[in-house]
Structure 1
Amino acid sequence: MDTMSNMDTIKIANAPCSWGALEFDLGAAAPDHLQVLQEIRETGYVGTELGDWGFMPTEPAALRAVVGRQGLDLIGAFVPVALAEEAAHAEGITSALRVAGLLKDAGYPEAVIVLADDNGTVAERTSHAGRISPNMGLDEARWRAFARGAMAVAKAVRDRHGMRTVFHHHCAGYVETPEELDKLLSLTDPELLGLCFDTGHYAFGGGDPLAGIAKYRDRIWHVHFKDYDPQVGIQSRRKGWDYFESVRQGVFCELGKGSVDFAGVLEVLKNTDYQGWIVVEQDVLPGMGTPKVCARNNRIYLEHLGI
């Protein structure tokens, strides 16, 4: 197998969350989409995700115009749904179909729906992110509800728009730890629901990203590259920080400055003929740091790894 040609098929994107454009209601404004898209292109990336609904235009032609103006591809969109709650499933399906329809009508039918729990909305999970104990998890009935909801979203997106859905494990949600991810994947159809593997969230949730990406490789259709600073993680545990304070303190650092073995992760991907996208994410809260500088540093780091 020609590993160099495999590396050539992997494309590198960034996402609005790296500029503080997050799905949470944080009471502060991120840079607008025009600045974010321009800076994604200027720092060396060739794709982006949509960001929260309304961050970018919600009319297909307008969306195509602003993304295309920067020469970028639009490769996915994050859709949070409170999947453990049966009552939230119908609204979640509607939301996912709305987003998928926008992507398809704007000319991006290969984009994926990145489905996640409605992270940050359950106080116990949010306040204990990075230190979840088994008694904070779902019981069997709610696990079944969670899995049914995820499958229903994926099926609706596939049947209506012919598009794929991947599940994003995420701290401050009900699928954070390696054991919780195992549980969800065991309850869902691998032909219908793929996995968005996020290296940083997997590490913050207590896992080894290199072991995780090898273990779940057959389910992985989309990859998020995020680094994890274990020293901040230790402080978070000692001081009892919630998820948002951990992010504010830099738990997700620049690539190469944390504990994730990105060279090893890339080796697994190239040796298994991964041909999807890698999305660099360095989650920050609105107004934090210098996103454009970090984005460029992250791209340079990946260039040094050969991609």
Structure 2
Amino acid sequence: MASALDRIRVGSAPDSWGVWFPDDPVQVPWERFLDEVSEAGYDWIELGPHGYLPTDPARLTDEVTRRGLKVSAGTVFTGLHRGPAVWESTWEHVSEVATLTQAMGARHLVVIPSFWRDDKTAEILEPAELTREQWGHLTQGMERLGHEVREKFGLDIVVHPHADTHIDTETHVERFLDSTDSALVNLCLDTGHYAYCGGDSVKLIETYGERIGYLHLKQVDPEILADVVKNEVPFGPAVARGVMCEPPAGVPELGPVLEAAQRLDVDLFAIVEQDMYPCEPDKPLPIAVRTRAFLRSCGA
């Protein structure tokens, strides 16, 4: 048994049940997700796509509490690189999610940058590289978002590097961190997305430890990833091919990542997020049970 990682709080999310959208006929019903995530041995969950779980705080509180669950974060999608013109629509979306997140007693808001390539249709939406001006809009917009979310909701934003977005590779992630104020903006390090984009999670934790505010745990299958990179497969179809795999079958090794996070000596959420959209409804629970057992073997 590995040494106890007592600063790491493990949870899971609708994503690990194949849930990417608020409403989709191929996804499991939210009641089943809550039942099974509790059965699998997790204490913490994220809200997932806004509208998938009940948005009435009283009802959701009842649903999660009676299953022994607590909420760690909400998730929002933003396109702040587009400049001040998108602020009002962004804030409307963020406020809606942040209101529920705050009501559920959570302290974090996971912020995902908008996709330059559609994850469902694979349509190219805009260039993969930002201009200098767009980088300025992105970093300043995230700082403003961090300030406003903290002032109005008491939440901390954690920005999630993500495949097929403008914050993805080591170069882009480091540029983003070097260009933003740590008092306002920190990172949700997703180990699977970072590996998917060629990054080293342990190195990032050891180099930018003070900026790591939250973790998503997932792994990629190196063989499938190699084919995805070679053939420039978009993220959505890559997930359908199984590029995100059950630990410990893929990379990065999660034990060293968790140990590096523990050495930061701060309390961190580590939320399991194995992308499986779409998937058969009976597939997630056995994987979730095995993954929880594996993380316990790592000390988490």
Query: TM-score scaled by structure 2?
Result: 0.91
Q: Which residue of 2 aligns with 1:132?
A: none
Q: CA deviation at 1:98?
A: 1.5
Residues 250-261 of structure 1: pairs in structure 2 closer than 5 A: 250-261=242-253
Cα separation, 1, equivalents of 2:231 and 2:167 = 23
- With over 3 angstroms needed to count, the CA separation of the structure-2 counterparts of 1:279 and 1:97, relative to structure 1, is same
Cα separation, 2, equivalents of 1:208 and 1:10 = 20
Cα separation, 2, equivalents of 1:38 and 1:11 = 20
Are 1:43 and 2:40 an aligned pair? yes
Q: Which residue of 2 aligns with 1:156?
A: 148
Q: Which residue of 2 aligns with 1:15?
A: 13
Structure 2: gaps (5+ residues): none
Q: Which residue of 1 aligns with 2:196?
A: 204
Say which is worse superposed, 261-270 or 139-148, in terms of deviation: 261-270
- Number of residues of Structure 1 aligned to a counterpart in Structure 2: 294
**Secondary structure in 2 aligned to 1:55?**
coil
Cα separation, 2, equivalents of 1:122 and 1:300 = 34
Q: Deviation per CA, 1:191-242: give whole Å up to 9, x if none.
A: 1111101100000011122212222211011101111111011111233321
**Secondary structure in 1 aligned to 2:187?**
strand
Cα separation, 2, equivalents of 1:9 and 1:72 = 19
Say which is worse superposed, 219-228 or 114-123, in terms of deviation: 114-123
Cα separation, 2, equivalents of 1:301 and 1:120 = 34
**Secondary structure in 2 aligned to 1:48?**
strand
Q: Which residue of 1 aligns with 2:226?
A: 234
Q: Which amino acid aligns with 2:37?
A: I
Identity of aligned residues (%): 29
Structure 1: gaps (5+ residues): 129-134
Q: Which amino acid aligns with 1:64?
A: T
Q: Deviation per CA, 1:239-296: give whole Å up to 9, x if none.
A: 3321111101111101110021212112212222131211011011133470111111
Q: Which amino acid aligns with 1:91?
A: S
Are 1:266 and 2:258 an aligned pair? yes
Cα separation, 2, equivalents of 1:244 and 1:90 = 28
Q: CA deviation at 1:29?
A: 3.1
2:295 is matched with which residue: 282, 302, 305?
302
Q: CA deviation at 1:122?
A: 5.4
Q: Which residue of 1 aligns with 2:161?
A: 169
Do the aligned residues in 2 keep the contact of 1:120 with 1:172 (CA within 8 Å)?
yes
Q: Which amino acid aligns with 1:105?
A: A
Do the aligned residues in 2 keep the contact of 1:20 with 1:287 (CA within 8 Å)?
yes
Q: Which amino acid aligns with 2:71?
A: L
Q: Which residue of 1 aligns with 2:87?
A: 89
Do the aligned residues in 2 keep the contact of 1:93 with 1:152 (CA within 8 Å)?
no
Q: Which residue of 2 aligns with 1:188?
A: 180
- With over 3 angstroms needed to count, the CA separation of the structure-2 counterparts of 1:300 and 1:4, relative to structure 1, is closer
Do the aligned residues in 2 keep the contact of 1:196 with 1:222 (CA within 8 Å)?
yes
Q: Which amino acid aligns with 1:285?
A: Y
Say which is worse superposed, 60-69 or 288-297, in terms of deviation: 288-297
- With over 3 angstroms needed to count, the CA separation of the structure-2 counterparts of 1:127 and 1:239, relative to structure 1, is farther
**Secondary structure in 2 aligned to 1:101?**
helix
Q: CA deviation at 1:116?
A: 1.2
Residues 23-102 of structure 1: pairs in structure 2 closer than 5 A: 23=21, 28-86=25-83, 87-102=85-100
Q: CA deviation at 1:111?
A: 2.6
Q: Which amino acid aligns with 1:202?
A: Y
Q: CA RMSD in A?
A: 2.2
Q: Which amino acid aligns with 1:66?
A: E
Cα separation, 2, equivalents of 1:32 and 1:120 = 29
**Secondary structure in 2 aligned to 1:206?**
coil
Cα separation, 2, equivalents of 1:138 and 1:43 = 41
Query: TM-score scaled by structure 1?
Result: 0.89
Do the aligned residues in 2 keep the contact of 1:12 with 1:45 (CA within 8 Å)?
yes
Cα separation, 2, equivalents of 1:74 and 1:295 = 17
- With over 3 angstroms needed to count, the CA separation of the structure-2 counterparts of 1:14 and 1:251, relative to structure 1, is same
Cα separation, 1, equivalents of 2:31 and 2:174 = 39
- With over 3 angstroms needed to count, the CA separation of the structure-2 counterparts of 1:297 and 1:120, relative to structure 1, is farther
Cα separation, 2, equivalents of 1:266 and 1:238 = 30
1:292 is matched with which residue: 282, 285, 296?
285
**Secondary structure in 2 aligned to 1:265?**
helix
